Structure 1
Amino acid sequence: MSITVAMYSHDSVGLGHLRRNRAIAFALAEHLPPGSSGILIAGHPAATRFSLPAGWDWLVLPGYARTPDGYTARALHMGVSGLSELRSLTITAALAALSPDLFIVDRHPFGVDDELRPVLDMLHTTGCVTVLGLREVLDTPAVAHAEWRTAETAAAYDALWVYGDPAIHDPVASGEIPAELAPLVSFTGYLSRGRHVDEGDPVEAPYLITTVGGGSDGGQLARIAARTRPPEGHRHLVVTGPQMSEAELLAVRALAATHHTQVTRFVPNLPTLIRDAAGVVCMGGYNSLAEVMATDTPALVIPRNTRRAEQPIRARALADAAVSDTIDINDLTPRRLGEWMAGAATRRVSREHVDLDGLHRVGHLACDLLAEVSSHV
């Protein structure tokens, strides 16, 4: 019997949410019965740049943007409540027509402004299995705890999947996930090995690469990287991300004009380029590091230190586990970055002590969960 899957990510800042769901979609396509299909709900038009498995498609919603005062509509002239209602009605109608067997939500149990609440209520009447997927680091325990609606989440979801290795960071033990939800938690391991990679142009070796994720908040790192002279005989590729503003991109390119540095907004084959690089410099987002950990490429993590403590916590945990190096952005200079690059170019890093098989495990978890729920019907 074929299985229909729906996956949701709100996608206000960065592309990590949709890229995480896309990686899982490819893993599920390999493990679910033949003929299974799915839809990925996302909130950024860049989603369609990424391929999907056969039988899967994107549903791209009008998007949110984040401001110092919170969320706002990215493009439409309407308030957050109106945008939330529009998105909620769209998702509900789509899933009512699709009638999924499995619904996987990334990070936010009820979406922005509770836009998923009517969706979840509708799906519960159909017997759909619901899963909340969480990255391994949420925030400081106090901040994370204040955001949970524990009883409502427990009623809304059949399982919580944590995409990490508890030996590196355990959000249940830290208090980021309430103890009351612990019975629902399964640790998958990092979503690293076995990621689907699109084809793209190779880069002439040897080279180093700097990537700033989606790019909306990576301007400072990209400017420092562009001013950094790579080791003798090496090239330097700076990937700014599709969300970096045009003005910021032009500034980065101007700084790189006199160095052996290439600046590009997007590459479809980033995991392959990271694998073959002499070293990689990145921010502390989950997906960037999941891709890095699938390789033995030395990595320097420059975590975002605004809004949430998630990236600094992750960067420190991975540095403590000898997975990567880390420097605070305020301590980073072109000279210091150049010194790190010179050292990285002469070594590789083993990450065999980390559980990196989450993409293999989610397929088995999904099949087991569907079978368990089916047996109780």
Structure 2
Amino acid sequence: MRGDSLDREHHHLVTPGAAPRWTAAQARPKILLYSHDTFGLGNIRRSLVLGELLGAEYPGAAILLVTGSPMIHAFTLPRQMDYVKLPCLNRTTADAYEPRFLSDCAHEVREARSAILEQAVLTFRPDLMIVDKRAAGIDGELLPALDATRRLARRPRLVLGIRDILDAPEVTRGTLRANGSFDVMASYYDEIWIYGSPCIFDAVSEYDFPAAVAEKTRYCGYLRRAAVARRPHTGPPRVLVTTGGGEDGRDLLTAYLSAIAATPEHMFDSTVVFGPQLDTSAIDALASRVAGRADVQLVTFDPNMARRYEDADVVVSMAGYNTVCELLTAGVRGVLVPRAAPVQEQLIRARRLAARGCFSLVEPSTLSPDTLLSAVRDALGGPLPVGRAVDMEGLARIRERVHHLLTEQRS
């Protein structure tokens, strides 16, 4: 693999090149994606982006997504993709989970999830398996499936894909060692992909990856999404407010809607997307703050936010990985209001990108209607972000790594 000035002994930055030509034997690979999905929409949306890429590169591929997302049915899947639904879990703390719906059957739910994963591997017999974020799955639920790959006639290539930042380094270093994740990475996986750049956050160094894990780690870059043409607009500035899944975005939504309620009508044209996991009582309470306002559109959920990002003059959002990638793709002004708990990945990401001039930042500790409204006005009055030094070539590099791994698997 060719490196560049960012290469070090313990990690690589892959350089994208021309798309390879596939041989007939590689034209119909079976690819299994695992996305544990316990909180928000981030994991499932990232898996769907990978599915779209793989489906486009391999028109004859069979892609099976095994997911715990309660919202998978709301998304459009690539033609070559189907899914197996795991019973839902809900995150209660940074590293603790319980059944989302079957609250009295915690043991049974965990056993069922693990058994489904193992059988998916044994019956689907994938050529490539890409795991999102959790090397062993939730509470080790993936370990039987990982063991099962070794019983297949042809062992699939195994990849662990992780976002740019997991949590604060002082927390993550201990967690990855204590829960055995580093051992699982070293024992089972062929490659570790980081969907980010060491220029923003050097996870290998910050999290102190052991040598055996670091040597198989590749920085892919952030995942650029397909651009959508911006539609012309002659009215007031358009402000889009989104909190992803919505479960942890109530403070942001409250601050913005309270600010708008105190401003003259048509200062902005606001669209607020609550998110599908915000409960209806909270939505009703929030909506009452702007009842009768003709300049505020309230939306519960939109599975395709790209059009809304492109049309906005400024986006107010949290700082989840997928949202940030979509904002960087759109080149839109953004005001980030990250969450700081139960994990700090959004806070770290927002601070580092704000320091590079990519976005404005409202610290969660200072969030109020006044501070948020001021940040929106400042963003609207500023120039469009240009010259963002953020590596967005993740999908191109993933395409090349998939080609390499499938070629290796069939040799």
Q: With structure 2 as the length reference, what TM-score do the two structures score?
A: 0.85
Aligned to 2:74: 49
Structure 1 Cα separation of the partners of residues 235 and 84 of structure 2:
36
Assess if the C-alpha contact under 8 Å between 1:203 and 1:273 holds in 2.
Answer: no
Write the deviation string for residues 5-35 of structure 1: whole angstroms up to 9, x where unpaired.
Answer: 1111111110100000101111111223x31
Partner of 2:157: 129
The amino acid that maps onto 1:52 is L
Structure 1: how far apart are the matches of 2:208 and 2:246? 27
- The secondary structure found in structure 2 opposite 1:355 is coil
Q: CA deviation at 1:193?
A: 3.3
Aligned residue in 2 for 1:303: 338
Identify which range, 176-185 or 365-374, moves more after superposition: 176-185
**Whole-angstrom CA distance in 2 between matches of 1:35 and 1:373:** 18
Instruction: Name the aligned partner's letter for residue 373 of structure 1.
Output: Q
Kindly state the Cα deviation for residue 238 of structure 1 after the two structures are TM-superposed: 1.0
The yes-or-no answer on 1:155 pairing with 2:187 is yes
Q: Which amino acid aligns with 2:207?
A: G
2:354 is equivalent to residue 319 of structure 1? yes
Mapped pair 1:208 → 2:208: no
Give the aligned residue type for 2:366.
D
- Name the CA shift for 1:100/1:49 in 2 (closer, same or farther; >3 Å): same
* More off after superposition, 211-220 vs 73-82: 73-82
The answer to which of 211-220 and 354-363 deviates more is: 354-363
C-alpha displacement of 1:249: 1.1
Give distance in 2, aligned partners of 1:20 and 1:332: 28
Instruction: Kindly provide the CA deviation profile for residues 79-118 of structure 1, in whole angstroms up to 9, marking residues without a partner as x.
Output: 4332111011112222322111111111111111211000
The answer to whether 1:256 aligns with 2:281 is: no
The secondary structure found in structure 1 opposite 2:215 is helix
Structure-1 residue corresponding to 2:9: none
TM-score, length of structure 1 as denominator length? 0.92
Are the counterparts in 2 of residues 144 and 176 from structure 1 also a CA contact under 8 Å? no
Q: C-alpha distance in 2, partners of 1:38/1:141?
A: 34
Alpha-carbon deviations, 1:304-358, whole Å to 9, x = none?
A: 1111111111111111111111112231222222222223224311254211121
Partner of 2:142: 116
Structure 2 counterpart of 1:22: 48
Identity %: 33
Indicate how the Cα distance of structure 1 residues 110 and 274 shifts in structure 2: closer, same or farther if over 3 A, else same.
Answer: same
- In the alignment, structure 1 residue 244 sits paired with structure 2 residue 278: yes
Deviation at 1:278, TM superposition (A): 0.4
Structure 1 residues 178, 79: closer, same or farther in 2, change over 3 A? farther
The answer to whether structure 1 residue 335 and structure 2 residue 370 are counterparts is yes
Q: Counterpart in 1 of 2:248?
A: 217
Cα 1:26–1:348 change in 2 (3 A) is same
1:290 aligns with 325
Task: State how 1:78-227 maps to structure 2 within 5 Å.
Answer: 78-126=104-152, 127-148=155-176, 149=180, 150-175=182-207, 177-194=209-226, 206-227=237-258
Counterpart in the other structure of 2:91:
66
Once residues 69 and 56 of structure 2 are traced to their aligned partners in structure 1, the CA distance between those partners, rounded to angstroms, is 26
1:204 & 1:51 partners in 2: Cα distance?
32
Q: Which amino acid aligns with 1:49?
A: A
SS where residue 131 of structure 1 aligns? strand
Indicate if the aligned counterparts of 1:64 and 1:74 stay in contact, CA closer than 8 A: yes
Structure 2 stretches lacking a partner, 5+ long: 1-24
Name the stretch that deviates more: 202-211 or 309-318.
202-211
1:356 and 2:392 aligned: yes
Larger radius of gyration: 2
| TM-superposition CA deviations, 1:110-129 (whole Å, max 9, x none) | 11121100001111222111
Q: CA deviation at 1:264?
A: 1.3
**Match in the other structure for 2:37:** 11
Of 355-364 and 128-137, the range deviating more from structure 2: 355-364
Aligned equivalent of 2:268: 234
Q: 1:277, CA displacement in angstroms? A: 0.5
Distance in 1 between residues matched to 2:341 and 2:289, nearest whole Å: 24
Secondary structure of the 1:341 match is helix
CA deviation vs aligned residue, 1:168-192 (integer Å, no higher than 9, x gap): 1111121254443111111111012
Distance 2:113 2:387 in 1: 41
Contact in 2 for aligned 1:110/1:117 (Cα 8 Å): yes
8 Å contact 2:306–2:326 — kept in the other structure?
A: yes
